Amino acid sequence: MFALTGKVALVTGASQGIGRAIAVALAAGGARVALAARNEQKLAEAAGQIQSAGGEALSIKMDVAEAEQIKAGFQQVLAKFGRLDILVNNAAITRDGLALRMKLEDWDTVMRTNLTAAHLCTQQALGTMMKQRWGRIINITSVVAETGNAGQANYVAAKAGLIGLTRAIATEMASRNITVNAVAPGFIATPMTDPLPEKVKEEMKGRIPLGRFGTENDVAAAIVFLASEEAGYITGHVLDVNGGMHMG
Protein backbone atom coordinates (compact mmCIF):
# COMPACT_ATOMS: atom_id res chain seq x y z
CA MET A 1 0.00 0.00 0.00
CA PHE A 2 0.92 3.67 -0.47
CA ALA A 3 3.41 2.91 -3.25
CA LEU A 4 4.60 5.98 -5.15
CA THR A 5 6.56 4.22 -7.87
CA GLY A 6 6.72 6.30 -11.04
CA LYS A 7 5.68 9.51 -9.31
CA VAL A 8 7.74 12.70 -9.14
CA ALA A 9 7.59 14.87 -6.02
CA LEU A 10 8.89 18.32 -5.14
CA VAL A 11 9.32 19.31 -1.48
CA THR A 12 10.11 22.87 -0.46
CA GLY A 13 12.13 23.54 2.67
CA ALA A 14 13.60 20.07 2.20
CA SER A 15 17.15 20.57 3.43
CA GLN A 16 16.46 19.77 7.09
CA GLY A 17 13.86 18.92 9.70
CA ILE A 18 10.37 17.94 8.67
CA GLY A 19 10.96 18.79 5.01
CA ARG A 20 13.96 16.48 4.79
CA ALA A 21 12.04 13.66 6.50
CA ILE A 22 9.20 14.11 4.02
CA ALA A 23 11.56 13.96 1.04
CA VAL A 24 13.23 10.80 2.38
CA ALA A 25 9.87 9.14 3.08
CA LEU A 26 8.52 9.93 -0.40
CA ALA A 27 11.68 8.50 -1.94
CA ALA A 28 11.36 5.38 0.21
CA GLY A 29 7.86 5.00 -1.22
CA GLY A 30 9.31 4.93 -4.72
CA ALA A 31 8.99 8.55 -5.84
CA ARG A 32 11.73 10.48 -7.57
CA VAL A 33 12.17 13.57 -5.42
CA ALA A 34 13.23 17.16 -6.07
CA LEU A 35 14.41 18.88 -2.91
CA ALA A 36 14.21 22.69 -2.81
CA ALA A 37 15.72 25.03 -0.22
CA ARG A 38 18.21 27.87 0.18
CA ASN A 39 21.10 25.99 1.81
CA GLU A 40 22.97 24.11 -0.92
CA GLN A 41 25.19 22.16 1.45
CA LYS A 42 22.29 20.80 3.49
CA LEU A 43 20.37 20.08 0.28
CA ALA A 44 23.28 18.03 -1.02
CA GLU A 45 23.40 16.07 2.24
CA ALA A 46 19.67 15.34 2.09
CA ALA A 47 19.83 14.32 -1.56
CA GLY A 48 22.83 12.13 -0.77
CA GLN A 49 20.84 10.35 1.93
CA ILE A 50 18.17 9.47 -0.63
CA GLN A 51 20.68 8.43 -3.27
CA SER A 52 22.64 6.24 -0.85
CA ALA A 53 19.41 4.32 -0.21
CA GLY A 54 18.97 3.74 -3.94
CA GLY A 55 16.57 6.60 -4.63
CA GLU A 56 16.70 9.37 -7.21
CA ALA A 57 16.96 12.96 -6.02
CA LEU A 58 17.45 16.40 -7.52
CA SER A 59 18.70 19.36 -5.45
CA ILE A 60 17.33 22.79 -6.35
CA LYS A 61 18.58 25.98 -4.72
CA MET A 62 15.40 27.98 -4.29
CA ASP A 63 14.31 30.88 -2.12
CA VAL A 64 10.52 30.57 -2.16
CA ALA A 65 10.23 34.26 -1.31
CA GLU A 66 11.46 34.98 -4.85
CA ALA A 67 8.93 34.30 -7.62
CA GLU A 68 11.57 33.97 -10.34
CA GLN A 69 13.48 31.36 -8.34
CA ILE A 70 10.27 29.37 -7.93
CA LYS A 71 9.62 29.45 -11.66
CA ALA A 72 13.19 28.43 -12.47
CA GLY A 73 13.09 25.62 -9.92
CA PHE A 74 9.96 24.07 -11.38
CA GLN A 75 11.50 24.29 -14.84
CA GLN A 76 14.45 22.26 -13.54
CA VAL A 77 12.10 19.58 -12.23
CA LEU A 78 10.31 19.23 -15.56
CA ALA A 79 13.59 19.26 -17.49
CA LYS A 80 14.96 16.46 -15.31
CA PHE A 81 11.91 14.27 -14.79
CA GLY A 82 9.41 15.36 -17.44
CA ARG A 83 6.50 15.51 -15.03
CA LEU A 84 5.42 16.50 -11.51
CA ASP A 85 2.86 14.53 -9.54
CA ILE A 86 3.29 15.60 -5.91
CA LEU A 87 3.96 19.04 -4.44
CA VAL A 88 4.61 19.51 -0.73
CA ASN A 89 4.60 23.17 0.34
CA ASN A 90 6.66 22.92 3.51
CA ALA A 91 9.02 25.93 3.51
CA ALA A 92 8.37 28.32 6.40
CA ILE A 93 10.05 30.84 8.65
CA THR A 94 9.23 32.64 11.90
CA ARG A 95 9.64 36.28 12.90
CA ASP A 96 7.94 36.21 16.29
CA GLY A 97 6.84 39.21 18.29
CA LEU A 98 3.81 40.66 20.04
CA ALA A 99 1.25 42.01 17.59
CA LEU A 100 1.33 45.45 19.17
CA ARG A 101 5.00 45.89 18.26
CA MET A 102 5.32 43.69 15.18
CA LYS A 103 7.21 45.37 12.38
CA LEU A 104 5.57 45.50 8.98
CA GLU A 105 8.72 43.94 7.50
CA ASP A 106 8.37 40.92 9.81
CA TRP A 107 4.71 40.54 8.89
CA ASP A 108 5.37 40.78 5.14
CA THR A 109 8.38 38.45 5.21
CA VAL A 110 6.50 35.67 6.98
CA MET A 111 3.45 36.07 4.76
CA ARG A 112 5.53 35.92 1.60
CA THR A 113 7.48 32.82 2.61
CA ASN A 114 4.78 30.88 4.44
CA LEU A 115 1.68 31.68 2.37
CA THR A 116 2.34 33.54 -0.88
CA ALA A 117 5.09 31.08 -1.80
CA ALA A 118 2.69 28.14 -1.47
CA HIS A 119 0.31 29.89 -3.85
CA LEU A 120 3.10 30.57 -6.36
CA CYS A 121 4.42 27.00 -6.16
CA THR A 122 0.91 25.65 -6.61
CA GLN A 123 0.45 27.80 -9.71
CA GLN A 124 3.62 26.34 -11.20
CA ALA A 125 2.57 22.78 -10.40
CA LEU A 126 -0.99 22.95 -11.68
CA GLY A 127 -0.16 23.22 -15.38
CA THR A 128 1.51 19.83 -15.62
CA MET A 129 -0.85 18.21 -13.13
CA MET A 130 -3.87 19.33 -15.14
CA LYS A 131 -2.39 17.87 -18.32
CA GLN A 132 -1.75 14.59 -16.50
CA ARG A 133 -5.19 14.73 -14.87
CA TRP A 134 -3.53 13.57 -11.65
CA GLY A 135 -1.88 15.43 -8.85
CA ARG A 136 -1.37 15.72 -5.11
CA ILE A 137 -0.73 19.06 -3.41
CA ILE A 138 -0.07 18.98 0.32
CA ASN A 139 0.40 22.12 2.40
CA ILE A 140 2.13 22.01 5.78
CA THR A 141 0.18 24.21 8.16
CA SER A 142 0.35 24.05 11.97
CA VAL A 143 -1.68 23.32 15.07
CA VAL A 144 -1.37 27.01 15.97
CA ALA A 145 -3.37 27.88 12.86
CA GLU A 146 -6.27 26.13 14.60
CA THR A 147 -5.63 27.21 18.19
CA GLY A 148 -3.84 30.57 17.94
CA ASN A 149 -0.59 31.39 19.73
CA ALA A 150 0.59 34.54 21.49
CA GLY A 151 3.53 36.29 19.90
CA GLN A 152 3.03 34.71 16.49
CA ALA A 153 0.29 36.74 14.80
CA ASN A 154 2.10 36.71 11.46
CA TYR A 155 2.96 33.00 11.55
CA VAL A 156 -0.51 31.97 12.74
CA ALA A 157 -2.23 34.12 10.14
CA ALA A 158 -0.07 32.70 7.35
CA LYS A 159 -0.60 29.10 8.45
CA ALA A 160 -4.35 29.68 8.81
CA GLY A 161 -4.30 31.20 5.34
CA LEU A 162 -2.80 27.95 4.05
CA ILE A 163 -5.89 26.12 5.25
CA GLY A 164 -8.10 28.50 3.28
CA LEU A 165 -5.85 28.19 0.24
CA THR A 166 -6.00 24.40 0.51
CA ARG A 167 -9.79 24.35 0.43
CA ALA A 168 -10.07 26.90 -2.37
CA ILE A 169 -7.68 25.05 -4.70
CA ALA A 170 -9.20 21.70 -3.73
CA THR A 171 -12.57 22.98 -4.93
CA GLU A 172 -11.13 24.36 -8.16
CA MET A 173 -9.11 21.27 -9.07
CA ALA A 174 -11.33 18.36 -8.00
CA SER A 175 -12.68 17.83 -11.52
CA ARG A 176 -9.10 17.34 -12.78
CA ASN A 177 -8.36 14.53 -10.31
CA ILE A 178 -6.00 16.79 -8.34
CA THR A 179 -6.40 16.59 -4.58
CA VAL A 180 -5.28 19.36 -2.24
CA ASN A 181 -4.89 18.73 1.47
CA ALA A 182 -3.08 20.12 4.48
CA VAL A 183 -1.21 18.54 7.37
CA ALA A 184 -1.14 20.37 10.71
CA PRO A 185 1.74 19.20 12.91
CA GLY A 186 1.70 19.87 16.64
CA PHE A 187 4.83 19.97 18.78
CA ILE A 188 7.44 18.06 16.79
CA ALA A 189 10.90 17.15 18.10
CA THR A 190 13.40 18.87 15.81
CA PRO A 191 16.81 20.54 16.20
CA MET A 192 14.87 23.74 16.93
CA THR A 193 13.24 22.22 20.03
CA ASP A 194 16.34 20.39 21.31
CA PRO A 195 17.85 23.45 23.09
CA LEU A 196 14.67 24.13 25.09
CA PRO A 197 15.02 23.70 28.87
CA GLU A 198 13.67 20.39 30.17
CA LYS A 199 11.10 22.22 32.32
CA VAL A 200 9.69 23.91 29.21
CA LYS A 201 9.61 20.60 27.33
CA GLU A 202 7.74 18.91 30.15
CA GLU A 203 5.20 21.74 30.27
CA MET A 204 4.68 21.39 26.52
CA LYS A 205 4.26 17.61 26.80
CA GLY A 206 1.65 18.19 29.48
CA ARG A 207 -0.58 19.74 26.82
CA ILE A 208 -0.37 16.63 24.62
CA PRO A 209 -2.74 13.76 25.51
CA LEU A 210 -0.34 11.18 24.02
CA GLY A 211 2.33 12.51 26.35
CA ARG A 212 5.18 12.96 23.90
CA PHE A 213 6.44 15.21 21.15
CA GLY A 214 5.79 14.06 17.63
CA THR A 215 8.63 13.03 15.36
CA GLU A 216 9.51 14.20 11.88
CA ASN A 217 8.63 10.71 10.66
CA ASP A 218 5.13 11.00 12.17
CA VAL A 219 4.53 13.96 9.87
CA ALA A 220 6.25 12.34 6.88
CA ALA A 221 4.06 9.24 7.14
CA ALA A 222 0.94 11.40 6.87
CA ILE A 223 2.36 13.01 3.73
CA VAL A 224 3.08 9.66 2.09
CA PHE A 225 -0.51 8.59 2.72
CA LEU A 226 -2.04 11.77 1.30
CA ALA A 227 0.25 11.52 -1.75
CA SER A 228 -0.87 7.98 -2.51
CA GLU A 229 -3.55 6.52 -4.76
CA GLU A 230 -5.31 5.26 -1.64
CA ALA A 231 -6.00 8.85 -0.53
CA GLY A 232 -7.62 9.76 -3.84
CA TYR A 233 -11.04 10.41 -2.30
CA ILE A 234 -9.70 12.87 0.28
CA THR A 235 -9.45 16.54 -0.66
CA GLY A 236 -9.78 19.87 1.10
CA HIS A 237 -8.95 18.16 4.39
CA VAL A 238 -6.69 19.20 7.28
CA LEU A 239 -5.01 16.16 8.84
CA ASP A 240 -3.96 16.88 12.43
CA VAL A 241 -0.70 15.22 13.51
CA ASN A 242 -0.53 16.58 17.04
CA GLY A 243 -0.90 13.79 19.60
CA GLY A 244 -4.40 14.98 20.45
CA MET A 245 -3.52 18.48 21.65
CA HIS A 246 -6.17 19.89 19.31
CA MET A 247 -9.24 17.91 18.34
CA GLY A 248 -11.56 19.71 15.99
Domains of the chain listed by start with CATH number: 8-186+217-238 (3.40.50.720)
Q: Catalytic positions, please?
A: 155
How many CA atoms are closer than 13 Å to the CA of 71, on its beta-carbon side? 3
Q: What CA–CA distance (Å, rounded) separates 66 from 186?
A: 28
- State pLDDT tens for residues 216-239: 999 999 999 999 999 999 999 999
Residue percentage of the chain with pLDDT more than 70: 100
Total-model pTM: 0.97
Q: What CA–CA distance (Å, rounded) separates 28 from 56?
A: 10
Phi, psi of 189 (to 5 degrees): -70, 115
Q: Is the pLDDT of residue 185 over 90?
A: yes
